[in-house]
Amino acid sequence: MADASTPNGSTDDGQAWQPQRKSIALVDDDRNILTTLSISLQAEGFTTRVYTDGETALKALLENPPDLAIFDIKMPRMDGLRLLQALREQSSLPVIFLTSKDEEPDEALGLAMGADDYITKPFSQRLLVARIRAILRRSELVKATPEETPQEDLPEPVVRGRLHLDPARHQVTWDDKPVSLTVTEFLILEAMATRPGVVKSRNQLMDAAYSDDIYVDDRTIDSHIKRLRRKFRTVDPEFAAIDTLYGAGYSFSDG
């Protein structure tokens, strides 16, 4: 059940929100952690919303998305992995996982499923805030709108055959049909589509999609590629524009 209020009076219905402040949703069954994180993040200038179970959080995150969400993995009813899986079917909201030291396989699985980062408990508040700001900056760069950016600084759309990728609006279409991608998926696709036919190694795709202080392994990039193909095949079952060169990496074909 959602704990609708947070220590400084922010509310889940959004009435106390300040539009210029970034909103963070916290999902954890430990109310002490929720209270501590809320106080800490609000002191850093964020607004917060808290939820104590995944099912309640999922409904709220889809109906009224924050700027970023932080999930604990181990929760009753719907754990963080299941929550992320359900969220990713409808949303590209940036997500950070909170994990314990013995949950390394869950960390890798969470990144592969579309999480943007993870923090291992116990963690410093300073580290968490730094990770949050890094992801929000990356998200803003991808999603910056023409109204917020001088015309001469806007990135040009990438058009490759049936693909239209617009970095200024974080929009992707295939045959004029929209394809919803997370920030990480968008950056991986952009890295390949800007140089069609050129094989990008997994390391190059990691560099394009993740900041230097986030470690991911080869399997994570492979999982993102699988998710990209699956999403494009929902609008075109014959989609085959992402090629695999085994042992070398991936490329985008605009033919």
What's the mean pLDDT in 129-151?
66
Q: Are 140 and 253 in contact (CB under 8 A)?
A: no
Q: Taking residues 169-186, report their average pLDDT.
A: 86
**Same structural domain, 207 and 184:** yes
- Which residue matches tokens 């490329």? 251
Regarding whether 122 and 27 lie in a shared domain, the answer is yes
- The confidence band for 11, taking pLDDT boundaries of 50, 70 and 90, is very low
pLDDT (0 to 100) of residue 89: 86
| CATH number assigned to the domain comprising residue 44 | 3.40.50.2300
Q: Is residue 154 scored above 80 in pLDDT? A: no
Of the two residues 96 and 103, the one the predictor is more confident about is: 96
Is the omega angle on the peptide bond into residue 65 within 30 degrees of 0, that is, cis? Answer: no
User: What backbone torsions phi and psi does residue 110 show, to the nearest 5 degrees?
Assistant: -60, -45
Q: Of 218, 148, 135, 147, nearest to 182 (Cα)? A: 135
Q: How high is the pLDDT of residue 91?
A: 87
Is the pLDDT at 4 greater than 50, yes or no? Answer: no
pLDDT tens track for 213-236: 555 556 678 878 888 998 899 999
What confidence score (pLDDT) does residue 83 get? 93
Q: What is the CATH number of the domain that holds 171?
A: 1.10.10.10
Q: Give the pLDDT score at 3.
A: 44
* Distance in angstroms (rounded) separating the CA atoms of residues 47 and 18: 8
pTM for this structure? 0.59
What are the tens digits of pLDDT across the range 79-88? 888 999 999 8
One domain for residues 14 and 80: yes
Amino acid sitting at position 86? A
> Does one domain contain both 131 and 189?
no
The letter for the amino acid at 218 is D
Please give the residue range of the domain that contains residue 12. Answer: 2-143
Whether residue 96 is found in the same domain as residue 159:
no
C-alpha distances out from residue 64 to 14, 15, 45, 113, Å: 8, 12, 20, 22
Q: Are residues 17 and 96 in the same domain?
A: yes
Q: How far apart are CA 179 and CA 49, in angstroms?
A: 29
Whether 44 and 109 map to the same domain: the answer is: yes
Query: Which of helix, strand or coil describes residue 59?
Result: helix
> Residue with structure tokens 């929209």?
178
